[in-house]
Amino acid sequence: MIAVGLLSGGLDSTMAAKMMIDQGFTVHAVNFVSPFCTCTPKSAGCSAVVTAVKQLGGIHLERIVLGDEYLEMVKAPKHGHGRGLNPCIDCRIMKLRRAGEYMKSVGGEFLFTGEVLGQRPMSQHRRALEIIEDESGFKGYVLRPLSAQFLEPTLPELKGIVDRNKLLDIAGRSRKVQLSYAVENDITEYQCAGGGCLLTDSTFAGRLKEYLAITEKPSRNDMPLLRIGRHIALDNGEKAVVARTEEEGEKLIRIFSNKGTLLLPLEFSGPIVYLTGSDIQRGIQLLVSYTNRDIPDNARILVKDGLKEYEVARAQWPEPSVRPAPVES
């Protein structure tokens, strides 16, 4: 029999999967690829999941990409946001719904998660768990093995498919039971104990909120730009993004793709600047103001403006200005 579980790569979801395997189920793990995961910068999803799958004996892993519909949900969640822009309840509903669709496609018996009653204030109190299950469309088929003894029996328990006596009674934020279980079952690598969601970060949440307010059709392809650099509002309503490191500069080059304007220093070491518009003079001022080394007389700045590309010699640069306070540092 197949059981389908949400696997984040963290200890709780790995532990829940191991418990189902020990009860004799063939476990299919579902992992959601989100632009807001902080566990890894890779777009292919959380690398910790790969490790978890190996530790679970090589179970089947199904990746599900959360697309633009996820951004629309983040913009206006039915059940509201947390302290940042995190729509935790609506997020869980969407994930369970998608996982449930996959479960039906493979003939699975039920869904399970690594959720722990009382561990997270917004989405894991008793009423939130009930709402999430009800609105997912899979009421009665969502098993939470780690806290099952505190929750109403699910249909697979009532049918005797799952042995309820082998399920646990963990509640609250203490992780003593989980850590002990990990040692006993040779689960030595796991990540994302704090959740790993960028939407809880106040700086990123501010950037995303502004983006959603002015963007009619949000796209997950725009998210990488919000994750990097100093974001500075310009007088004309556009925005400049100043790279803080060489790695961020390389990311801006990859993001550019003929959309907006890119400024690159030549013959001197300075930050790469990305403009959402085409205020070249202001962009050059910012590039120079964030350059910490002497600039030689033969310095140039390469401008990539859409499909156009040209150089601006130092003699043509505007007078440098005082470094502005970034919208977000």
How far out from the chain centre does Cα 239 lie?
A: 23
Q: Which residue has the tokens 């509201």?
A: 80
pLDDT of residue 197: 86
pLDDT of residue 70: 96
pLDDT of residue 325: 57
* 329 residues of the chain, pLDDT tens digit each: 999 999 998 999 999 999 999 999 999 999 999 889 876 544 444 678 999 999 999 999 999 999 999 999 999 999 999 989 999 999 999 999 999 999 999 999 999 999 999 999 899 999 999 999 999 999 999 999 999 999 999 999 999 999 999 999 999 999 999 999 999 999 988 875 555 789 999 999 999 999 999 888 999 999 999 999 999 989 888 899 999 999 999 999 998 877 889 999 999 999 999 999 889 999 999 999 999 889 999 999 999 998 899 999 999 999 876 666 555 54
CA-nearest of 3, 283, 162, 254 to 13 is 3
pLDDT of residue 329: 42
Residue type, 83: R
Distances (CA, A) of 133 to 8, 298, 305: 18, 65, 49
Q: What is residue 20's three-state secondary structure?
A: helix
- Pairing status of strand 26-33 against strand 60-65: parallel
Give residues with Cβ within 8 angstroms of 63, minimum separation 6: 31, 32, 33, 44, 45
pLDDT of residue 235: 86
- 266 CB-side CA count, 13 A: 13
pLDDT of residue 293: 87
- Pairing status of strand 142-143 against strand 110-112: parallel
pTM confidence score:
0.88
pLDDT of residue 41: 45
Residues 28 and 108: beta-carbon distance below 8 Å: yes
CA distance 288 to 320: 6
pLDDT of residue 194: 58
pLDDT of residue 44: 44
Tally Cβ neighbours within 10 Å of residue 275: 22
| Radius of gyration of the chain measured on its C-alpha atoms | 24
Residues 249 and 272: beta-carbon distance below 8 Å: yes
pLDDT of residue 139: 97
Residue positions counted in the chain: 329
